Amino acid sequence: MYLCLYFCAHVVSCHAMPASSPAALPGLVDADVAEHGLPRQSLIPLFACLLVAHGHLILLLLLTGSTFLIWFGPTPRLAVADPDLIREILLSRAEHFDRYESHPMVRQLEGEGLVSLRGEKWAHHRRVLAPTFHMENLKMLLPFIGKTVVDMAEKWVTMADPASGEVEIDVSEWFQIVTEDAITRTAFGRSYEDGKAVFKLQTQLMAFASEAFRKVFIPGYRFLPTKKNTSSWKLDKEIRKNLVTLIGRRQEATDDERLQGCAKDLLGLMINASSNGGRRGQPVSPITVNDIVEECKTFFFAGKQTTSNLLTWTTVVLAMHPEWQERARHEVLEVCGAHDIPCREQLAKLKTLGMILNETLRLYPPAVATVRRAKSDVVLGGYHIPRDTELLIPIMAVHHDARLWGPDATQFNPARFADGVARAAKHPTAFIPFGLGARMCIGQNLALLEAKLTVAIILQRFEFRLSPKYVHAPTVLMLLHPQYGAPVIFRSRPSSQTPDHRL
């Protein structure tokens, strides 16, 4: 019964029309398709939509080429996997394209913050929040993040079987604790404890939303007063109420109390901006309490899931490839020692670990695709794109394209990044895990710094391999994650081993 409903739901949401239809794109008729080289759908249309719905854009790319037309219900989307065209959309001609509006259910979860905003309001919020993610500011958070990771590692040691010295850990669950702590400190600073309580509620709300995404989509279902919908609404209200209270407390503090001797946190910067307005000489809407609430929700959603998924996949691939695990460990021990929490300067020297993180992001990008909307009629790579056309950039498909990455495109090979990101592929825009251009992920520095620190501490203390229970099933639920978790077996390294040991 469930499979039948699931199939029917996708028929409704992904009903396809042939690309030769006069409605193939608003204003783009069959003659335009032929004249400008846009390929017609070369698969059974419904099957193609089902592939897209499940994130399997790689197969479509292989079967249709780097630019193809797909349908989401009545909405046509032009999938663009050509790196030159992607560069135009996201960078050189980005002013002609805008972020498309997310589904209401997604917006409720991720908040109406930086990810969703457009125009001058987006630009103003980006300017205000940028100092939070400057490397000098993030450096002040490293000792706190490091302590959280060390505490986690010590718990794993106490959980180990006395006979074997091993413990099985589902890292996909544990890494969420680490990332949650990091983003709470980044968002709330000295209001950490209050922020932690708020984000605990947000975690519960995310659990409800994740479950809803797994179910068949029924239009209007989210408005029905079901038990879970009612619980979700109550949680959202409580989160908002607690954040407003927290913001009020911080607004009562003096400027010196807010920032002196502390890292610049997201909450403090936005409160200052709400008092001081925008850039001098530029009219801009003031940042309101509601804006601050939405930004906190956005930061929690984006920061927690993106980094925890990166840590999970990195641990999985290192467990799969012990030779790279040993190379990374050797580097960490040589640069950072066997026990000390690595500092920012030491992390910058971990080239092999950086290559491994980049290769993990290539194979398992947090978001499998991103969508832009044409703000006006525009010519893109010789194609006439009418206004309001949605353009789908299949990030994961581009990252796995053998034409860009070579015959081993689907294989784990960090060595491809030995000469840097720009030279890893045949085109510099072939690697876009955090996007490109002005809307590139603002939290990229935090995610990579946190991931590098966490993996380095784990390599110092443990050797690890995949559990026999592990099933490799990457799946898309807003972001790319392991469907059945990521059980990994850890074994403590001998405490007597020193960083002077060589491979």
Check residue 63 and give left, alpha or beta (phi > 0: left; psi -120 to 50: alpha).
alpha
CA distances from 483 to 36, 130, 148, 477 (A): 40, 34, 26, 9
The residues that bridge with 487 in the sheet, in sequence order, are 170
- CA gap 99, 241 in Å, rounded: 29
With a CB cutoff of 8 Å and minimum separation 6, the contacts of 100 are: 371, 372, 373, 390
14 within 8 A of 46, measured Cβ to Cβ: yes
Binding-site positions: 441
- CA gap 316, 393 in Å, rounded: 26
Hey, which bits of 26-150 come out as E strands? 67-72, 75-80, 97-99
Binding-site positions for heme: 441
301 within 8 A of 139, measured Cβ to Cβ: no
**Exposed e or buried b per residue across 343-376, where buried means at least 16 C-beta atoms within 10 angstroms of its C-beta:** eeebbeebebbbbbbbbbbbbbbbbbbbbbbbee
301 within 8 A of 310, measured Cβ to Cβ: no
Three-state SS at 44: coil
In the DSSP assignment, the letter for residue 249 is H
- CA gap 417, 54 in Å, rounded: 29
The residues that bridge with 309 in the sheet, in sequence order, are none
Q: Where are the alpha helices (DSSP H) in 402-443?
A: 402-405
Instruction: Please identify which residue in the block is written with the tokens 């010196």.
Output: 256
Look up residue 296 and give its amino acid: C
- The DSSP secondary structure of 115-139, one letter per residue, reads TT--HHHHHHHHHHHGGGGSHHHHH
Angle between helices 322-336 and 444-461 (to 10 degrees): 90
With a CB cutoff of 8 Å and minimum separation 6, the contacts of 321 are: 412
Look up residue 210 and give its amino acid: S
Three-state SS at 425: coil
Closest CA to 30 of 236, 466, 38: 38
CA 79 and chain centroid, separation: 20
- CA gap 268, 483 in Å, rounded: 37
In the DSSP assignment, the letter for residue 70 is E
